Every structure is written in C-alpha cells, then in structure tokens.
Amino acid sequence: MFKKFLLAATLLFAANMALAEIVVVVNPANANALDSKTVQRIFLGKDKKFADGAETIAVNQVADNQIRQDFDQNVLGRSSSQVSAYWSKLVFTGKGIPPKEVASDAEVIDLVSKNPSVIGYINKASVTDAVKVVEL
C-alpha cells in the first residue's frame, strides 16, 4: 500500500514539474520593454544593457534544476548541454562570463527585488509582488 502511495505521489510531483510554466521576471522599477529575442541575447551574454542603457545582470537557476532545463530549451532554443558548451567556449576565450547561478525561485525573487538591473526566471506559481513578469 505504501509503495502505491509513494508511486502516485512521485507521478503527481513529476506531472507538476512538467506542467510548470516559466516566466521571466525583472524588478518592478524596470520599465524596459523586453521580447524573447532580447531575453535570449541577455542570457547568452550578447546584450549587456537594457534599452534604457542600464546594465543587465542575468541570473540562472542551477543546471540540474528542471526549470533551468526548460528555460534553456524553450527560451534559449538550446539544450542545457549546448548552453554549457557555449559558455565554456566564451570563458575559455576570455569573451564572457556566464550568469550567476542560484538554487531556487526564492533566490531569484530576492535578487531581482533588490536590484533593477537583475533579470531572471522562475516558475509562474512562485511569482510575488516583489517582481514584475515580462510578457514574451
């Protein structure tokens, strides 16, 4: 009986993770218009400033996080291993530094809420008033 319960709970958890909707978030004071192409460029280190000239600070979630994998695939259009290889090449050639990594939605929200230059992504279910969702 316990094994059946554990299996059902695991399947329910996996279904919730698969259904998690990712949203890009910025500080509520950030008035820049962002589209998916601009977000891609920011997270790939190609754009270092918002349209208003303010610095961008991208924040990734850790590589083994499902939200990160979904973000890489659905927003950046690459697998997480491709994104990792991309950044390895830039770091090796001295042409870039990958975004800071944090372990959870709560950490992304904390960083974004404290700094108008920070941009990150979280599960839509984690959104609070401390951040503004970017419509892509």
Domain assignments of the chain as residue spans, ordered by start: 21-134
| pLDDT bucket at 128, cuts 50 / 70 / 90 | very high
Q: What percent of the chain has pLDDT over 90?
A: 84
CATH 3.40.190.10 at 21-134, yes or no: yes
How far does the chain reach from its first CA to its final CA, in angstroms? 45
Q: Please, what sign has the CA dihedral across residues 118, 123, 128, 129?
A: positive
The pLDDT of residue 20 is 80
The pLDDT of residue 8 is 47
- Which residues, including other chains, have CB under 8 Å from residue 27's CB and lie 6 or more apart? 112, 113, 114, 115, 116, 117, 118, 131, 132
| pLDDT bucket at 136, cuts 50 / 70 / 90 | confident
What are the pLDDT digits (tens) for 17-73? 445 899 999 999 999 999 999 999 999 999 999 999 999 999 999 999 999 999 999
- Residue 32 · residue 52 · CB < 8 Å: yes
- Which residues, including other chains, have CB under 8 Å from residue 129's CB and lie 6 or more apart? 28
**Other beta carbons within 10 Å of 114:** 10
